């Protein structure tokens, strides 16, 4: 308990917790993306995937509680670090030291992070927390993505998700002690991973809008 408190109290401990929870969230996104790709296989495959998941309510509950806890830890420590940096502002280099870099990427985290939090709240309200009234999930997704404004909102949000991952990925590895010489490689890998998530997730609303028979 004492050790955990020491980790939580130190700045580097907080960053390490953010890095670890960030990687768990990336893992969730990978699973979520993989599941959502069933949309491209058509209505039956997508509904089969969703219904199979929901036929395991205990598993889903544990998964959701775990995800919520990990997300809350990530957001909580991000907020604490931002506030601490604001307090430390009179010291000229404090912002530059944050996240171990001075790139525009570390600044962009301050915008993309809160935006993604808002996006997730909207997203849950639209797809998870709504009264489905017996309708299959394919109908709910198809209805949402018939509206150009929501397609645009989702496509833009995926750019934010990509930007957040692109910086979070390499800075997370750096926080966890990957050597400085590998910084270039990690940045490239982060860019690749973020493009993969951004483009593939972003393609879903656009495809559902463009190909009306995809989810019928």
Question: Using CB under 6 A, which of the segments 10-18, 81-89, 186-194, 200-208 binds ligand HEM?
Answer: 200-208
Q: Using CB under 6 A, which residues numbered 17 to 46 contact ligand HEM?
A: 29, 32, 36
User: Site for ligand HEM (CB under 6 A): how many residues?
Assistant: 20
Residue 154 binds ligand HEM (CB under 6 A)? yes
Secondary structure (H, E, C), the chain: CHHHHHHHHCHHHHHHHHHHHHHHHHHHHHHHHHHHHHHHHCHHHHHHHHHHHHCCHHHHHHHHHHHHHHHHHHHHHHHHHHHHHHHCCCCCCHHHHHHHCCCHHHHHHHHHHHHHHHHHHHHHHHHCCCCCCCCCHHHHHHHHCCCHHHHHHHHHHHHHHHHHHHHHHHHHHHHCCCCHHHHHHHHHHHHHHHHHHHHHHHHHHHHHHHCCCCCC
Binder to ligand HEM among 172, 201, 209, 215 (CB under 6 A)?
A: 201
Which of 128, 146, 147, 216 touches ligand HEM by CB under 6 A? Answer: 128
Smallest distance from ligand HEM to CB 202, Å: 7
Q: Enumerate binding residues for ligand HEM (CB under 6 A).
A: 29, 32, 36, 50, 60, 63-64, 116, 120, 123-124, 127-128, 137, 141, 154, 161, 201, 204-205
């Amino acid at each position: 308990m004492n050790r955990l408190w020491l980790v939580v109290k130190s700045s580097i401990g907080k960053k390490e917790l953010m890095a670890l929870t960030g990687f768990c969230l990336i893992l969730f996104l990978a699973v979520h993306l993989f599941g959502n790709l069933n949309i491209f296989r058509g209505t039956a495959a997508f509904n089969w995937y969703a219904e199979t998941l929901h036929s395991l309510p205990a598993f889903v509950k544990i998964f959701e509680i775990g995800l919520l806890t990990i997300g809350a830890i990530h957001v909580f420590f991000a907020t604490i670090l931002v506030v601490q940096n604001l307090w430390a502002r009179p010291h000229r280099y404090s912002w530059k030291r944050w996240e171990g870099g001075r790139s525009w990427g570390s600044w962009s985290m301050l915008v993309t992070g809160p935006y993604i939090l808002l996006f997730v709240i909207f997203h849950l309200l639209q797809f998870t927390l709504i009264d489905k009234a017996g309708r299959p999930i394919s109908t709910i997704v198809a209805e949402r993505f018939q509206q150009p404004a929501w397609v645009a909102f989702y496509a833009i949000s995926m750019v934010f998700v990509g930007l957040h991952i692109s910086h979070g990925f390499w800075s997370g590895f750096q926080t966890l002690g990957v050597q400085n010489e590998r910084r270039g490689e990690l940045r490239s890998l982060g860019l690749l991973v973020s493009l993969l998530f951004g483009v593939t997730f972003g393609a879903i609303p656009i495809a559902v809008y463009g190909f009306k028979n995809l989810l019928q």
